[in-house]
Amino acid sequence: MNTKKFTTNVLCLLMLFGSGISNLAQENAASEFENKFFRLDFENNDIKMENFKEFFFTTFPHDDPTEGDVVYDRVQWKNSDMISLKEDGLRGYIKYRDDNSSYDSFRFTSKPYYNLNSGVKKILFVFKGKFPSEKGVWPAWWLNGSRQSEWLYEGEEKIDDELVDKYSGKGRYYETPSPVNCTDWPAAGEVDIIETINGDNIIHNTIHTCPQMCDSEWNNNGEIINCANGNETDPNAGCSGEPYEVESPEGTFACLWDANSISFYYWKTDEEVRNSGGPLSTQPDPESWNKSNLKNRVEFLNTNAGCDETVHQDWQCSSCEGYNECKFVNLKMVFNITLCGKWAGRKFDETENTLNNCKNYITSEGVEYIDDKYFKIEFVSASEIK
> Rounded to whole angstroms, how far apart are CA atoms 319 and 316?
5
- Averaged pLDDT for residues 357-364: 96
- Averaged pLDDT for residues 299-315: 85
Q: What is the mean pLDDT of the chain?
A: 91
Region class of 210: left (phi > 0), else alpha (psi between -120 and 50), else beta: beta
**Is the model's pLDDT at 221 over the cut of 70?**
yes
The torsion angles phi and psi of 198, rounded to 5 degrees, stand at 55, 30
pLDDT band at residue 15 using 50, 70 and 90 as cut-offs: very low
**Is the model's pLDDT at 336 over the cut of 90?**
yes
**Is the model's pLDDT at 246 over the cut of 90?**
yes
How do the domains of the chain map onto residue ranges? 32-384
**Is the model's pLDDT at 372 over the cut of 90?**
yes
pLDDT band at residue 300 using 50, 70 and 90 as cut-offs: very high
Give the model's pLDDT for residue 273.
Answer: 98
Which sign does the torsion angle of CA 223, 224, 230, 235 carry? positive
How far is CA 198 from its chain centroid?
20
Asked if CATH classification 2.60.120.200 holds for the domain at 32-384, the reply, yes or no, is yes
Number of alpha carbons in the 13 Å side-chain half-sphere of residue 31: 6
The torsion angles phi and psi of 163, rounded to 5 degrees, stand at -60, -45
The tens digit of pLDDT for each residue in 146-190 reads 999 999 999 999 999 999 999 999 999 999 999 999 999 999 999
**Is the model's pLDDT at 234 over the cut of 70?**
no
Angle at the Cα of 238 from the Cα atoms of 126 and 60, rounded to 5 degrees: 55
Quote the pTM value: 0.92
For 286, which DSSP code?
Answer: G
**Is the model's pLDDT at 77 over the cut of 50?**
yes
Residues 6+ apart with CB under 8 A from 149: 155, 177
Which sign does the torsion angle of CA 106, 233, 174, 255 carry? positive
Cα→Cα distances 246→103, 240, 249, 328, Å: 26, 17, 6, 29
The torsion angles phi and psi of 144, rounded to 5 degrees, stand at -135, 140
Please state which of the ranges 17-26, 57-66, 216-225 shows the lowest mean pLDDT.
17-26
Residues 6+ apart with CB under 8 A from 271: 251, 252, 293
CB distance 286 to 386 below 8 Å: no
Give the model's pLDDT for residue 327.
Answer: 95
> Rounded to whole angstroms, how far apart are CA atoms 268 and 77?
34
